[in-house]
Amino acid sequence: MKDNSPGQPEAHPVVFEALNVAKRFGPVAALSGASIQLRAGEVVALMGENGAGKSTLLKILTGDHAPSSGALLLGGREVTFRDPAHARRMGVRVVAQEPEIAPDVSVAENIYIGALRQRGRRYSRSLLEREAGQELAEHGFGSSIDPGMLGKDLTAAQRQIVEIMRALQGSPKVICFDEPTSSLGEHEVDILFRLVAELRRRRVAIAYVSHRLPEVFELADRVTVLRDGTLVGSRQTSETSSDELVRMMVGRDLSQLFERTPHQPGEPILQLDSVTTDDVHGVKLTVRRGEVVGIAGLVGAGRSELLRAIVGDIPVRSGSITYKSRPITFKSPADSIAVGIGFAPEERKAEALILERSISDNIVLTVLPKISRAGFVLARRERTIASGFISRMRIRTPSPDQLVKRLSGGNQQKVVLARWLAIAPDLLLLDEPTRGVDVGAKAEIYRIIDGLAAQGTAVIVVSSELPELMGLSDRIYVMAHGRLSSSLNRADATEERILSLALTDDAAPREPAPTSDRNEGLHND
C-alpha cells in the first residue's frame, strides 16, 4: 500500500508544522509542549491513551483551540487560526469522531453545508443531490449512502461518511482524522483506507488518530506517541512493532494486555428461536452460563437491534425467547433487569450515562430500590457499593462524587459496566464495550468480562474489532442484513471466515427504519 518511501525531505516537504505547542485549561496542562510535522503525501498516526493529549493537539492543529504557547507553521509561514472555519479555508480539514450533522436536511446539503452550489441564481436541491451522488460514488461510498437521506436517519457510519466528504471539499492541504474507524464497519473501513491511500497520492498531508494498532501499521508512514500531554517519541512504522508502541503508550507489554482464562460453559441460559423484529430476521442463538459469545458484523447489520430486542427495548414481532428454561417476553428493559439481564448500549454518553450526575449516582441507578428503605436511599450502602466498584474496576477519580462528565472515555465505560455488575447479572449484553477507550482501559475491561464468565455469567459482546472478538469469545456469531449465521467455535474463527460471512450478498447496509417516536419520555420536537 505504501508505494513511496517516506522520510526524504525533498520528496515530502513539510506542509504543516506545530512547534512546541502547549495548552492549559486553568491549572491543568492538557498538552505541555508537543511538536509534530505533517508532510505532503505522508500519513502520520497519532497514538496515546485517552487523556494523553491527542484530541487537544488535533484541536490546536485545526483551529478549535488556540495554543497557550508555541506556534503553527503552514507552508513555512506562521499562522494563527481564529476558528475552525478559518483553518478550513486555509486548507486544514478535520474529520471529527462524532460529526455534527444537521438532522432535517439531506446528506447532499450536509456535505456542501456552508458552500451550497447554485445553478445560475437558483438553488437546486436535485442538482445538489446528483452532484453529491456522483462525488460519493467517485470515492467508493456510492452504495453506502443515498444523498437524499435526511441527516437524522443516518447511522453512525453514514454520518462519518458525510464528515469525510465534507473534508474533501475544495482542495485540502492537510486532513486530520480523529478515530474515523471507531464507528465504521469493516466494509466502510476498507473504503476509507483506499481513500486515505488516494489522498496520499494526491500529496495531502494526513494526521490520523487511532486506537487500533493494525490499522496504524496498514496506513501510516510514521507514528507519533503522546503520553500525559507530552511527546513520547516518533517512529517510522516500518521500524517499530505493536509491542513497542503499546509500551510507549502505557509503559507495559502487549502480552500483559489480556490473558484469557479457560471457561467451562454450563447449561444454556438464553435461547432465541426465529426472533424477528423490524430490523432482525429469524435469529436463532444460544448462550450458556459462563460463556462469552461474540457477535460480529458490519455496522447496520442489526447487531444493536438484536440486543435491544432481547432486553425488551424494541418489540419482537415473532419468534420465541427462552431465558433460564422459561419462555419470556419482556415489555421493557425493567422486566429484563428484574430477572438479571444487563445491557450496556453502544452510545455511552447518549444512552448510558447521566453526565451531570456523580459516579456514585450513575453506578447505583439500577439498584436504587434495593438500597432504599421506604424510598430513602441508604447513604452508607450506596457509598459501599460505589467505592467498591471504583476500586475493583480501577476507575480513576478523586472521589465517588465526581461528575461523570469529567471522566475520560475509558473510566466512563467502567462506570457503565459497574452499573450493570451492581445487579449481579446472570446475562450481560455489551454493545461495543471498548469503543473510544484507550489501550490500558481496554485491557481492564477485557479482564472484567473474562472474570465474569469465569464466575458463570453469560456474556454477549457485540464488537466491530475482530481481534477483540476473537480474543474474548468462546463462540462467534456473524450478523449480516439482520440475519445471524450459525456460530463459529473459537478454534474455527479466523478473520477471513468472519469477514466473508459478514459480507454475504456483498450489499451495503440499507438505510435503517426511521426511529418511531414511542409513547415514552418527553417529546421535544
Partner 1 sequence: MTDTLIVFKQDTVAPRRSLARRTVQRIGVQNLSLVIAIVVLVAVIGVQNPLFFGLDNMRVIGQAVAISGLLAVVQTIVIILGALDISVGSLAGLCSVVSAMVFTAAGPLVGVAAAMLVGVICGLINGCIIVFGRVNSVIATLATLAAYRGVADLISNGSAQGYTGSDPFFIFIARGSLLGIPTLIWILILISALVYVFLRFTSWGRNVYAVGGNGVASRLAGININRYIVGVFVVTGLVASIAGVLITARTGSGQPVSGSAGLELQAVTAAALGGAALKGGKGSVIGTLLAVVLLGVLSNGLTLLNVNSFWQDVATGGVLVLAVVIQQLRSGERRIGLPS
Identify which of residues 188 and 431 has a Cβ nearer to partner 1 in the complex.
431
Min CB(524)–partner 1 separation in Å: 6
Identify which of residues 338 and 424 has a Cβ nearer to partner 1 in the complex.
338
Identify which of residues 133 and 410 has a Cβ nearer to partner 1 in the complex.
410
Quote the Cα angle for 336-339-343, to 5°: 45
List contacts with partner 1 (CB under 8 A): 51, 228, 250-252, 256, 311, 313, 332-334, 337-338, 343, 345, 350-357, 361, 365-366, 368-369, 371-372, 375-377, 394, 396, 398, 419, 440, 444, 517, 519-525
Burial 433-447 (b: 16+ CB within 10 A, else e): bbbbbbbbbbbbbbb
Say if strands 427-431 and 292-297 run parallel, antiparallel, or are unpaired.
Answer: unpaired
Residue with cell 457477535: 295
Distance from C-alpha of 412 to C-alpha of 403, rounded to nearest angstrom: 10
CB 463 within 8 A of CB 304: no
Min CB(356)–partner 1 separation in Å: 5
- Cα Rg, the chain, nearest whole Å: 24
Min CB(360)–partner 1 separation in Å: 10
Min CB(440)–partner 1 separation in Å: 6
CB 107 within 8 A of CB 148: yes
Min CB(525)–partner 1 separation in Å: 7
Identify which of residues 37 and 277 has a Cβ nearer to partner 1 in the complex.
277
Identify which of residues 177 and 343 has a Cβ nearer to partner 1 in the complex.
343
Identify which of residues 188 and 361 has a Cβ nearer to partner 1 in the complex.
361
CB 211 within 8 A of CB 48: no
Identify which of residues 345 and 482 has a Cβ nearer to partner 1 in the complex.
345
Min CB(282)–partner 1 separation in Å: 25
**Considering only CA atoms, which of 276, 227, 234, 267 is closest in space to residue 51?**
227
Distance from C-alpha of 15 to C-alpha of 467, rounded to nearest angstrom: 35
Min CB(168)–partner 1 separation in Å: 24
Identify which of residues 506 and 520 has a Cβ nearer to partner 1 in the complex.
520
Min CB(452)–partner 1 separation in Å: 18
**Considering only CA atoms, which of 58, 45, 139, 151 is closest in space to residue 104?**
151
Min CB(343)–partner 1 separation in Å: 6
Min CB(111)–partner 1 separation in Å: 20
Identify which of residues 192 and 364 has a Cβ nearer to partner 1 in the complex.
364
Identify which of residues 402 and 485 has a Cβ nearer to partner 1 in the complex.
402
CB 488 within 8 A of CB 476: yes
CA atoms within 13 A on the CB side of 525: 6
Nine-digit cell at 190? Answer: 476498507
Nine-digit cell at 1? Answer: 500500500
Residues, the chain: 525
Quote the Cα angle for 263-267-272, to 5°: 105
Distance from C-alpha of 261 to C-alpha of 234, rounded to nearest angstrom: 35
Min CB(26)–partner 1 separation in Å: 10
* Segment (H or E) for 417: helix 409-421
CA distances from 504 to 186, 306, 508 (A): 13, 19, 10
Identify which of residues 361 and 468 has a Cβ nearer to partner 1 in the complex.
361
Distance from C-alpha of 333 to C-alpha of 15, rounded to nearest angstrom: 53
